[in-house]
Amino acid sequence: MTLARPLATRLFPTATALVAALVLAGCTPGTTTSDASGSPVTGGTLVYASGDAEPGCLDPHVGGNYPQALVASQYLETLYTKDAGGKLIPWLAEGSSVSEDGLTRTVKIRSGISFTDGTALDAAAVKANFEHLLVPKTASSTGYLALGKIDSMDAVDASTLELKLKSPDNSLLESFSMPWVAIESPKALKRSQAENCAAPVGTGPFKVESWKKQDSVQLVRNTGYVLPDPSAGHAGTAYLDGITWRFIPEAATRYAALQAGEVQIIDNAQPDTIAAAEKTSTIKHLDAPRPGASNRIELNSSKAPFNDVKVREAFIHAVNINASVDSLFFGTAARSYSPLSSVEPLAYSEDSLFGYDPAKAGELLDAAGWNKRDSAGYRTKDGARLSLTFPVSTSQSIPAEQSLFEQMQATAKDSGIEIKINLLDLSSWYGDLAKNNYNLVSAPYTKVGPSVLAILFHSDSTIPAPSGYFANLSQVKDPSLDALLNTAGATKDEAERKDLYTQAQKKVLEGYYLLPLYNQQNHFLYSSTLKNVGATTAVATPTFFDTWLDH
């Protein structure tokens, strides 16, 4: 090789420079660390890197998904929220009461708070927001569903809003705590939807300054901020000058940007990087499981082979979820045995139903008539293979989860069950659901409170919304379950509510309509130069009012 020497000679200065750079880079973290007990410093811009899809609209009233909630939690506030202990507390509202028949709810609105465009917050402003959410032109999905029971409303005086309900709804205050029902300036809502999407106006500690599409949203401190509940944080305005909200979809790039100090906090952190970061002192971890449903796989009971409960039960015993969760999630996710997230106080777990037991799966399948095998080793019945179609939306599942599905596919094969995984983009995925072209599906659903059970398992939810989406993907249609959910959502008695929701959860678990996996994962990694991180909204999106940067 004649090239070797000159090449090496040419590369030598570069290599030396690279080594020097690495050594220098290795030194920097040591100089910036300091103890967390220092006093807050005002100033500096936080750079946040999101792995979620960039929202098409910054107003979470429109549509209503988690990426919107993440960014909107910085500039919009809600009527209610949850404190650090998970207790529902009034925020922009001062309190609320409900009539004896449960059909009239009165909400008291705080005074002395104004939106960043100068408009004052009052009952009429809240009414305008609810109207904005309920009018079809807004195309709200999450917020619209949450307020579905409202029949009419009336701003009695500046601080009193009276809501007339179609039927009693004991989850209304929980719904009020979600960013999808956040309160915006009524004056700003009157603008065109495009204008409002680009820069919604709220009462939050930051406000939207500019939005460079496919790059970042620039947020700046709201200099007129008033903390609704003075016990909830420091007095005055936010410590940070602003937040640069960047979009970095690639997980490895996002983590590298955090390591390099280019950004100070990332979301959608991958399990392996969380495990690696926990060994360092420069990167910290915030685990904020989302409320509402657990992350689960729904078994489509509307068609063969899952219209037979025996086959559903057999499938659940044929897959080894625990082994995969242990190896793929590096101890960052705990196995769930409940339809609800573990942060929901009313979650009911039943682990005895979900053991990995291929022998039992075999017996059940034999009993169900799937007792012959084809040349590939899969079970057959009347000449048809036991084959399950599993559309997976690549934008709604992290790589570790897709690997878990692949491992599920491999273990199910041992029991003679074929799983066909189709990795799809979001619109093709919705298409498959609309065409009922699935046997298995995993779809996240975030909502505050156990009323999410009605959205996921009530037979009404098998009827597609105008958008074509329906949330009852296991397609349970059980009149007794419907009745349970209806009563549970209307009762005023907290103990009865708990009992009814427990019965409902038992019913869907024992019917093998779903295979719970773990909580909806919501992990953040942040630089140790960022202090006082950890406050979140009721839907577990972080807020940065109390956060400061240690320069």
Partner 1 sequence: MSIPKPVLSAQDPLLRPLPAPPPHPGALSVRGLAGNLPWLACAAVLLFFLVAAIAPNLLAPVDPLAINPTGAFSPPGPGHLLGTDESGRDIYSRIVHGARPSLLIGAAATAIGLGLAVVLGTVAGFGGRWLDYGVGRLLEVLFALPGLLLALVFIALAGPGVTTTVIAVGLTTAPGYARMIRAQIIAQRASPMVEAATVLGRSRARILTVHILPNALAPLAVLATLGLGQAILWAASLSFLGLGAPPPAPEWGTMLSSGRTYLALAWWMTFFPGLAIVLVAAASTVLSRSLKSAGPR
Residues near partner 1, by CB under 8 A: 251-252, 255, 270, 272-273, 276, 320, 323-324, 326-328, 394, 399-400, 402-403, 405-407, 409-411, 420-423
* Minimum distance, C-beta of residue 349 to partner 1, in the bound complex (Å): 23
* Minimum distance, C-beta of residue 353 to partner 1, in the bound complex (Å): 22
CB 83 within 8 A of CB 90: no
CB 451 within 8 A of CB 489: yes
Helix (H, G, I), strand (E, B) or coil at 16: helix
Report the distance separating Cα 512 and Cα 311, nearest Å.
9
Report the distance separating Cα 403 and Cα 488, nearest Å.
37
DSSP 274-326: HHHHTT-SSEEEEE---SSBPEEEEE-TTSTTTTSHHHHHHHHHH--HHHHHH
Q: Which is nearer to partner 1, 115 or 354 (CB)?
A: 354
Q: Which is nearer to partner 1, 36 or 410 (CB)?
A: 410
Q: What tokens does 365 get?
A: 């399948």
Q: What tokens does 2 get?
A: 């004649």
Among 126, 140, 151, which residue's Cα sits nearest to residue 180?
140
* Minimum distance, C-beta of residue 406 to partner 1, in the bound complex (Å): 5
CB 179 within 8 A of CB 69: yes
How long a stretch of residues is the chain?
A: 551
Tell me whether the omega of the peptide bond preceding residue 168 falls within 30 degrees of 0, making it cis: no
* Minimum distance, C-beta of residue 276 to partner 1, in the bound complex (Å): 7
Q: Which is nearer to partner 1, 83 or 406 (CB)?
A: 406
* Minimum distance, C-beta of residue 400 to partner 1, in the bound complex (Å): 7
Among 281, 352, 405, 337, which residue's Cα sits nearest to residue 32?
281
* Minimum distance, C-beta of residue 324 to partner 1, in the bound complex (Å): 5
Report the distance separating Cα 104 and Cα 297, nearest Å.
38
Q: Which is nearer to partner 1, 209 or 406 (CB)?
A: 406
* Minimum distance, C-beta of residue 320 to partner 1, in the bound complex (Å): 8
Report the distance separating Cα 22 and Cα 277, nearest Å.
19
Single-letter amino acid code for the residue at 507:
K
Q: Which is nearer to partner 1, 202 or 271 (CB)?
A: 271
* Minimum distance, C-beta of residue 254 to partner 1, in the bound complex (Å): 11
Residue 355 burial (CB < 10 Å; 0-12/13-18/19+)?
Answer: exposed
Q: Which is nearer to partner 1, 232 or 421 (CB)?
A: 421
DSSP class of residue 124 equals H
Among 337, 349, 350, 345, which residue's Cα sits nearest to residue 494?
345
* Minimum distance, C-beta of residue 18 to partner 1, in the bound complex (Å): 18
DSSP 23-87: HHHHHHHHHH---TTSPP----EEEEEE-SPPPS-S-TTSB--HHHHHHHTTT-B-SEEE-TTS-
Q: Which is nearer to partner 1, 264 or 270 (CB)?
A: 270
* Minimum distance, C-beta of residue 54 to partner 1, in the bound complex (Å): 19
Q: Which is nearer to partner 1, 124 or 421 (CB)?
A: 421
Q: Which is nearer to partner 1, 234 or 413 (CB)?
A: 413
* Minimum distance, C-beta of residue 414 to partner 1, in the bound complex (Å): 10
Q: Which is nearer to partner 1, 186 or 271 (CB)?
A: 271
Q: Which is nearer to partner 1, 16 or 327 (CB)?
A: 327
Report the distance separating Cα 161 and Cα 308, nearest Å.
49
For 54, 69, 136, 386, 414, the CA distances from 197, given in Å and listed in that order, are 13, 13, 16, 47, 51
